[in-house]
């Protein structure tokens, strides 16, 4: 009997507690910087696409929502001819971001992606590509990569030795 | 007042007839409830509000609920064959004779005794209570003892001995 | 003319309160559960009531083909009718009462015992096993608690010397009956919760076990009548508690008497909602055990003691 009265009293005291409800559309919730939301494709500091169309993201994607086609531009640089993410399948696991060797694909703190038409959930490259560098500023894949793509010469990198002359036995 | 009486009386008679003739048990009980309610209206206009209220609370409210409760549990359908088997013409003889005797007495009483017009003295709950605990004390006590016996009997019938010690032990014994 | 005015006043206020309770209950439950409750429609979500009403009126009113149609349609009407009839004997203020009957309390008890039919028949007519189970539970529960409800009022009747609710309020000018009749008040409150089958005693509905109990098959406005009927029942029991134990319309004269009555009623409605927010549902046999083994002896003892004290004080 007493415990019943006590539980009624404690329930009453809850009237003066802090509300747990988030007033979402009016008050936007705080999202941490590493929140895994909408997927974007970033550019490097020179304004070129970071993506080299290596297909690792599409391979690692557990729900197969990423589709892309590799192509080479006139300098021989690889880039995705199309890059398509079906967000109605995406589970926002972030594996693609982990797999990406060039930090091109990134998940950003934005989840407001509701659509009335399901077809609008399929994002093409022009929807995905942003003009900035995303989370990793100043990073350019070709600064650390071995190939010369007009960013730096072969063997000119910071922790990079000069290329081995295959026709010479003496180093 | 008279029109209300005739309306209530008519409703009571019609619903009683429907209660007898209806084949669906629950519908019949509903008509019976309606009949009890209209009788309580008659009680009220005759100046007995207390018995009118008791009619509703006890008969319509409690006893008939139990009736419906039982009918619901038994799941009585439309079993006409059994009824036809039981209700042979011979079954009607004794009840008809008894009813006829009652009818004769009723007609005789109506003819021989001249009733004065009922004076509508309103008998409130207080008068009923005082009468019950002075003049009719014996009847109240007897019915109280009867009800007590009913309660004890119900308790005895409803009491269950613990038959199963534990479901495993019980199963072992069966094996 | 005055009579019509009073009836209209009672009807409008009761229906408004019952409809408003749909909103108030959700808001209060949210308050006790650290939430906000409905706050989208209109200022503070106040228009939620209207939105709910529009929704419930325009829903498809479907009668199952396997149901007993006449009884199915009748059942929700019985509930509303019995509860609305009972409001006729409740004094909202000194002369604001539809029917000042000398059997007012018995009228309430009779109507509440007829209210059982609504649930029993509703469940039976649905022809659905869960509904039937709900209505079987309801009939047992409500018959049981009607006994204590009636008996818990005997103390009040003895002290006021009348069945008329107006006389009972007048008899409380010296002091509220809740003080000498505290046991009666507690038992009436518990029986009232069971009678309106509100949580924690919502065993006939028990949505965890019986889908929605007796109104599983109901939809549209027929369900709405059960829904609003429950809130009207809550209002009724609260109004009766205020009248019988807390002095009805009596109160300091700087506010009108009807206001005091509404204030007390509103307080007990909030208590109903608070109890709903805090207590879990007991098992069916536990409910019956509480009734017959605890409340019945207590209420009989209450009657005995009240009678003894009254005889003693009268003989002095």
Is residue B67 domain-shared with residue B134, that is, in the same domain? no
As a whole number of angstroms, the distance between CA C57 and CA C59 comes to 6
Task: Give the helix/strand (H/E) hosting A105.
Answer: strand A105-107
Is residue B31 domain-shared with residue B70, that is, in the same domain? yes
Q: What is the least distance, in Å, from the CA of C298 to any CA of chain A?
A: 14
- The SS3 of residue A157 is coil
Chains A and B touch (3+ CB pairs under 8 A): no
B103: which DSSP letter? H
C47: which DSSP letter? T
A159 touches chain C (CB under 8 A): no
Residue A39: strand pairing partners? A107
- A17: nearest CA partner in chain C: C34
Length of chain B: 175
CATH number at residue B83: 1.20.120.1200
Is residue B33 domain-shared with residue B96, that is, in the same domain? yes
Chain-chain contact of B26 with C121 (C-beta, under 8 angstroms): yes
Per-residue pLDDT of chain C (316 residues; tens, 9 = 90+): 778 888 888 888 888 888 888 888 888 888 888 888 888 887 888 888 888 888 888 888 888 888 888 888 888 888 889 998 888 888 887 777 777 777 888 888 888 888 888 888 888 888 888 888 888 888 888 888 888 888 888 888 888 888 888 888 888 888 788 888 888 889 999 888 888 888 788 877 877 777 777 888 888 888 888 888 888 889 999 999 988 888 878 877 787 888 888 888 889 999 988 988 888 888 888 888 888 888 888 998 999 998 898 888 887 6
Q: Is the dihedral of CA B61, B65, B66, B68 positive or negative?
A: positive
Q: Which of C68, C113, C132 sits opposite B57 (nearest CB)?
A: C113
Is residue B35 domain-shared with residue B79, that is, in the same domain? yes
Is residue B133 domain-shared with residue B105, that is, in the same domain? no
Chains C and A touch (3+ CB pairs under 8 A): yes
- The SS3 of residue C180 is coil
pLDDT at residue B141, rounded to an integer: 92
The residue to which tokens 């209420």 are assigned: C299
Contact of C89 with C110, CB cutoff 8 Å = no
Is residue B50 domain-shared with residue B105, that is, in the same domain? yes
- The SS3 of residue C220 is helix
Is residue B81 domain-shared with residue B128, that is, in the same domain? no
Is residue B104 domain-shared with residue B31, that is, in the same domain? yes
Examine the fold and report which residue of B115, B143, B162 is the final residue of a domain before the chain moves on: B115
Residue C197: phi and psi, rounded to 5, are 35, 60
Is residue B38 domain-shared with residue B73, that is, in the same domain? yes
A166 touches chain C (CB under 8 A): no
As a whole number of angstroms, the distance between CA B30 and CA C122 comes to 13
Task: Name the CATH code of domain A30-142 (choices 2.60.40.2470, 3.40.640.10, 3.20.20.10, 3.30.70.3270).
Answer: 3.30.70.3270
The domain locations on chain A are: 30-142
CA C148-C149-C152 angle, to 5 degrees, is 75
Contact of C128 with C217, CB cutoff 8 Å = yes
Chain-chain contact of A17 with C34 (C-beta, under 8 angstroms): yes
Is residue B50 domain-shared with residue B128, that is, in the same domain? no
Query: Rounded to two decimals, what is the model's pTM?
Result: 0.78
Examine the fold and report which residue of B115, B134, B159 is the final residue of a domain before the chain moves on: B115
Is residue B26 domain-shared with residue B75, that is, in the same domain? yes
What domain range is B14 assigned to?
Answer: 1-115
pLDDT at residue B49, rounded to an integer: 83
pLDDT at residue C54, rounded to an integer: 87
Tens digits of per-residue pLDDT, B7-39? 888 999 999 988 888 877 788 888 998 999 899
As a whole number of angstroms, the distance between CA C5 and CA C18 comes to 20
- The SS3 of residue A78 is strand
Examine the fold and report which residue of B95, B115, B135 is the final residue of a domain before the chain moves on: B115
Closest to C76 measured CA to CA, from C108, C119, C139: C119
The stretches of chain C forming alpha helices (DSSP H) are 2-32, 48-58, 69-86, 104-126, 129-160, 165-170, 182-195, 220-245, 257-278, 284-289, 296-315
- pLDDT score of B173 more than 60: no
* Domain count of the fold of chain B: 2
Contact of B47 with B120, CB cutoff 8 Å = yes
């Amino acid at each position: 009997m007493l415990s019943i009265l006590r539980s009624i009293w404690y329930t009453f005291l809850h009237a003066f507690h802090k509300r747990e409800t988030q007033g979402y559309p009016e008050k936007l919730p705080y999202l941490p910087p590493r929140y895994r939301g909408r997927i974007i494709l970033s550019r490097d500091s020179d304004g070129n696409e970071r993506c080299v169309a290596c297909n690792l993201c599409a391979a690692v994607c557990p729900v197969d929502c990423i589709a892309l086609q590799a192509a080479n531009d006139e300098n021989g640089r690889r880039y995705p001819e199309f890059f398509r993410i079906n967000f109605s399948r995406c589970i926002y696991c972030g594996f693609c971001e982990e797999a990406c060797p060039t930090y091109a694909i990134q998940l950003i703190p934005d989840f407001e992606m509701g659509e009335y038409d399901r077809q609008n959930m399929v994002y093409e490259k022009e929807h995905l590509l942003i003009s900035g560098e995303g989370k990793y500023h100043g990073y350019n894949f070709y600064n650390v990569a071995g190939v010369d793509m007009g960013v730096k010469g072969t063997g000119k990198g910071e922790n990079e030795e000069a290329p081995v002359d295959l026709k010479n036995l003496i180093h | 007042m008279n029109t209300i009486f005739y309306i209530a009386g008519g409703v009571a008679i019609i619903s009683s007839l429907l209660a007898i003739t209806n084949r669906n048990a629950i519908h019949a009980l509903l008509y019976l409830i309606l009949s009890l309610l209209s009788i309580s209206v008659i009680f009220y206009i005759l100046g007995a509000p207390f018995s009118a209220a008791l009619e509703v609370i006890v008969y319509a409210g409690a006893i008939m609920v139990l009736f419906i409760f039982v009918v619901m549990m038994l799941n009585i359908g439309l079993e006409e064959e059994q009824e036809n088997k039981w209700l042979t013409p011979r079954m009607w003889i004794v009840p008809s004779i008894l009813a006829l005797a009652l009818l004769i007495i009723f007609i005789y009483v109506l003819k021989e005794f001249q009733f004065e017009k009922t004076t509508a003295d309103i008998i409130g709950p207080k008068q009923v209570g005082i009468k019950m605990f002075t003049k009719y004390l014996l009847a109240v006590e007897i019915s109280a003892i009867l009800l007590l016996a009913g309660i004890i009997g119900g308790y005895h019938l409803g009491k269950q001995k613990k038959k199963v010690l534990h479901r495993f032990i019980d199963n072992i014994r069966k094996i | 003319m005055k009579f019509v005015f009073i009836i209209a006043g009672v009807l409008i206020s009761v229906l408004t309160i019952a409809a408003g309770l749909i909103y108030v209950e959700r808001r209060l439950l949210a308050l006790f559960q650290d939430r906000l409750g409905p706050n989208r429609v209109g200022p503070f979500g106040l228009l939620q009531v209207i939105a709910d009403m529009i929704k419930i009126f325009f829903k498809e009113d479907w009668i199952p083909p396997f149901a007993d149609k006449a009884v199915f349609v009748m059942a929700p009407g019985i509930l509303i009718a019995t509860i609305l009839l009972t409001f006729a004997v409740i004094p909202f203020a000194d002369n604001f009462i539809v029917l000042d009957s000398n059997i007012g309390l018995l009228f309430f008890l009779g109507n509440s015992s007829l209210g059982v039919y609504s649930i029993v028949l509703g469940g039976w007519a649905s022809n659905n096993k869960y509904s039937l189970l709900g209505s079987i539970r309801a009939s047992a529960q409500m018959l049981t608690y009607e006994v204590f409800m009636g008996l818990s009022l005997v103390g009040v009747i003895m002290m006021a010397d009348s069945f008329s609710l107006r006389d009972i309020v007048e008899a409380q000018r010296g002091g509220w009956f809740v003080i000498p009749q505290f046991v009666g008040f507690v038992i009436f409150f518990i029986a009232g919760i069971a009678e309106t089958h509100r949580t924690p005693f919502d065993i006939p509905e028990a949505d965890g076990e019986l889908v929605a109990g007796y109104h599983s098959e109901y939809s549209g406005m027929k369900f709405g009548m059960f829904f609003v009927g429950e809130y009207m029942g809550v209002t009724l029991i609260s109004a009766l508690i205020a009248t019988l134990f807390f002095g009805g319309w009596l109160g300091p004269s700087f506010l009108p008497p009807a206001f005091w009555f509404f204030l007390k009623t509103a307080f007990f409605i909030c208590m109903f909602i608070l109890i709903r927010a805090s207590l879990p549902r007991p098992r069916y046999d536990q409910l019956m055990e509480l009734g017959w083994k605890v409340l019945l002896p207590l209420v009989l003892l209450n009657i005995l003691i009240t009678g003894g004290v009254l005889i003693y004080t009268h003989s002095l």
